[in-house]
Amino acid sequence: MCFTGPKFGAALDQTKIVLYAALMALFVGAVLSFSVGRMLGRPLSRLAHTAAGLRQLDFDGAVRLPRSRLAELDDVNQAFNGSIGALNAFAKYVPRQLVSRLVEEGMTDARNVEIKEMTIVFADLAGFTTMASQMSAEETAAYLNGYFETVSGAIVERHGTIDKFLGDGVMAFWGAPSDQPDHAALAIAAVKALAETIEQSPSAAMRVRIGVHTGKVVVGDIGSSARMNYTVIGDAVNVAARLQEYGKQVDPDAKVIALASGETMAGLPAGAGAVSLGPVSLRGRTEPLQVFRIA
């Protein structure tokens, strides 16, 4: 008769050893997983946070991602940092506030065009050609950049969009891409703020002419597949430009002269201050236009 008790006990002991080893392996695996998760989680969370800021076009506030001991993650961080630098440089050549509004409105598809009533503003430096002939290239650029900063600030603070810089001139509009029922009032407020800033400027040589007009325009993506601009075209744009030019005839020596059409004044609250110049025949137009001096 065989006695098998010890063999059974030995097998049980081996089972316990295997079980304990498995539990230890699970524990070590859990610790390693937790550690790796934290090692990856924080950088990925930082990456997601920075990416969210970039979606809001906050390139200046984007924090560069640090180096990582994980080669793959380090490659991702460095590539992402390079993208931030490239986007920040590119943003200097596009109207950032316009792109932000297009993204918010979901209007990022090409060939987005519509007809809207909007208010257009043209601002131009009077006598700049003569003044520039007496300055160096560096002085000319510095002077223009300072002027454009002043104009841009007044426009953007009143929710306008800078369409383009035209030599020493600026074209801006209100009423798109976001709906702005008070676009005429916002444009006039921006013009008056700009006029006040220019009037208080210590530079006696800085003189500005401004034209403002409200009317129907075509607004949207205009251009080719290689280069696209979100801009406005139409007769209302031409009228605003002609009003700016007409300021030279009204008061050629004024530090600031801003003229607005009757259509723009009709969109202002009752009692808005302006001096009527009566009906005026502008270059290129057959019918007279009611013109008001607002600054």
**How does residue 3 score in pLDDT terms, banded at 50, 70 and 90?**
very low
CA separation (Å) from 195 to 41, 172, 235? 53, 15, 25
pLDDT value for 201: 80
pLDDT digits (tens, 9 = 90+) for 5-63: 555 556 556 676 767 777 777 767 766 666 666 655 566 676 666 666 666 666 666 66
Phi, psi of 283 (to 5 degrees): -60, 130
In which residue are the tokens 């304990």 written?
20
Work out the number of other CB atoms within 10 angstroms of the CB of residue 247. Answer: 24
What contacts 156, CB < 8 A, 6 or more positions away?
Answer: 97, 162
Report the share of the chain in percent with pLDDT over 90: 41
For 115-136, what is each residue's pLDDT tens digit?
999 999 999 998 888 888 888 9
* Calpha distance 65→220 (Å, rounded): 36
**Which tokens go with 162?**
């800078």
Q: 255 pLDDT band (50/70/90 cuts)?
A: very high
Q: Does pTM surpass 0.85?
A: no
Q: What confidence category does residue 235 fall into, taking pLDDT thresholds of 50, 70 and 90?
A: very high
Q: How far is CA 291 from CA 6, 187, 215, 260, 275, in A?
A: 113, 16, 14, 6, 9
Sign of CA dihedral 151, 153, 155, 160: positive
